[in-house]
Amino acid sequence: MMIWILKKERLRLEKKVGSGSHNGMKSVQKELGTDIFPRIRIGIGTPNYKNDMVNYVLAKIPEEEYNILEQGIKKASIAVVDIIKNGIDHAMNQYN
> What's the CATH number for 2-95?
3.40.50.1470
Asked if pLDDT for residue 87 goes beyond 70, the answer is yes
Q: pTM of the entire structure? A: 0.68
63: confidence class by pLDDT, cuts 50, 70, 90? confident
Kindly state the helix (H) or strand (E) to which residue 37 belongs, with its residue range: strand 36-42
d(CA 65, CA 14): 24
Please state, in angstroms and as integers, the Cα–Cα distance from residue 37 to each residue in 16, 51, 59, 84, following that order.
6, 29, 28, 13
Residue pLDDT, tens place only, 15-61: 776 666 677 888 888 898 888 888 887 766 667 776 777 787 778 87
Domain ranges across the chain: 2-95
Give strand pairing partners of 41.
4, 12
